[in-house]
Amino acid sequence: MEDLSTHAAPGRPATLLLRLYSAMVEAADPARVLPAHLPEDRDRPLRVTGAGKAAASMAAALDRHWRGPLSGWVVTPYGHAMPAGRVEVREAAHPLPDAVALEAGRAMLESVRAASRAGERLVCLLSGGASSLSCLPPRGVSLAAKREVMDLLLRSGAGITEINCVRKHLSLLKGGRLAQAAWPCPVLCLGISDVPLDDPSVIGSGPFSPDPGTRSDALAVLDRYAIPAPAVVRAWLEDPASESPKPLGGRFEHVDYRLIATPATALAAASATARRLGLAVLDLGAELGGDASSLGRAHAALALDRLSAGWCGVILSGGETGVRVNGAGRGGRNTTYLAALLDQLGPEVDIAGLAADTDGVDGSGGAGAWFDPSVLASAAARGLAVSSFIERSDTHAFFATLGAALERRPTLTNVNDFRAVLVGASRI
């Protein structure tokens, strides 16, 4: 893991918060968690495919622990590649698919079909980001049309389950379609969850999982967020051929799906680390979603209430919020959450906070941000109104100006966001 760095040297409160964040990331490191989920018979030939922000690190861990012949490839975002031994690593665009992702989608489908024809054993490595990295829209729907819809959805504030519902019905891979292409080849699917309830049908848009959603649900998502989808997209979703394989009547018995890391297990590691450091912990859970600004304001109220009651400790939470993008700034959901929280606090309040994405990238900015009383005082002294940065979706710039932005390279894993608020920061 790369060390976290900031533009300013954080004091003790922020240093503790950084340590808790690192504990969550390390708990989802594929090198640590993947080997225990491999079958005992590790001498057989194995064909590999996969996609996601953790795909390269998962492939590297598999290569180290698989004794038998190993071949295949995985695709990961640009800048996320690492050597993976016998497994080839490719890179494509995220969060919107590019031509490389389209080629990866075609190659993935052919690889799965080849494994089925040859009766080979197949392993698929899936993690957050997989949906955009392997893209294969149906005939008649261009890559440009799919990109247009996805871009609008990502900016709309829609939840990941809603976004992936549309993705699954605009794909020849997702929503269980790769499982159908692989049948009857035995498939071991290893997943790192970054979605609510750790639902395999949502992770990477569920290429090896039956889809409980329908094309009508996908159309409803477009209508709910007033997405002006191209006519070819709506025409395809209105065609019964766009329906995805369902739990009943599908061929999924050959798929062995194992989750090797989840937001809850990773957040539990951060909570355990906090307690070992002598901190009282209020754990709000790993599945908090909704609007990032609203959640930030709610957590500010909770922290202030705890502070007034004389409580001293850390409030932890995880999950994935949504952000409606109103400008062209470099702000993600974590800096938006943290900015909204900070906006409710006075410059002298004894509270510190950190919010960051465990994949190391928050929106178009860094990993996230932190603040402590000194950052609050600096913002007040410089006359920086955090509300104006929130309004133009430029919250990363606010924290970067104050030297409190977290700049980090990709962590090569992804179990959603980490949020921590220290109450009584000067007493810790």
Q: What is the tens place of the pLDDT at every residue in 207-232?
A: 999 999 999 999 999 999 999 999 99
Q: Cα–Cα distance between 214 and 168 in angstroms, integer?
A: 9
Q: Which pLDDT tens digit goes with each residue over 105-147? A: 999 999 999 999 998 999 999 999 999 999 999 999 999 999 9
Is 307's pLDDT higher than 50?
yes
Residue 3's pLDDT is 42
Give the rounded distance of the alpha carbon of 108 from its chain centre: 21
Is 89's pLDDT higher than 50?
yes
Residue 159's pLDDT is 86
Same fold, 5-26+264-427 and 29-262: no
Residue 408's pLDDT is 74
pTM over 0.75: yes
Domain at 5-26+264-427: CATH architecture: 3-Layer(aba) Sandwich (3.40)
Residue 7's pLDDT is 40
CATH class of the 29-262 domain in this structure: alpha beta
**Closest listed residue to residue 29, CA positions, set 5, 61, 3, 52:** 61
- The full set of domain ranges for the chain reads 5-26+264-427, 29-262
- What is the DSSP annotation of 417-428? EEEEEEESGGG-
Is 203's pLDDT higher than 60?
yes
- Identify the band that residue 364 occupies on the pLDDT scale cut at 50, 70 and 90: low
Is 265's pLDDT higher than 90?
yes
- Identify the band that residue 5 occupies on the pLDDT scale cut at 50, 70 and 90: very low
**Closest listed residue to residue 282, CA positions, set 175, 422, 414:** 422
Residue 328's pLDDT is 67
Contact of 166 with 153, CB cutoff 8 Å: yes
> Which residue in this structure is represented by tokens 């000067």?
426
User: Average pLDDT over the chain, rounded to whole?
Assistant: 92
Residue 332's pLDDT is 86
Q: Which pLDDT tens digit goes with each residue over 161-193? A: 999 999 999 999 999 999 999 999 999 999 999
Residue 9's pLDDT is 47
Residue 426: what residue type? S
What are the structure tokens assigned to 354, written together? 């950190």
Is 250's pLDDT higher than 70?
no
Long-range contacts of 102-105 (CB under 8 A, 24+ apart): 102/135, 102/136, 102/143, 104/51, 104/75, 104/133, 104/134, 104/135, 105/134, 105/135, 105/136, 105/171, 105/172, 105/173
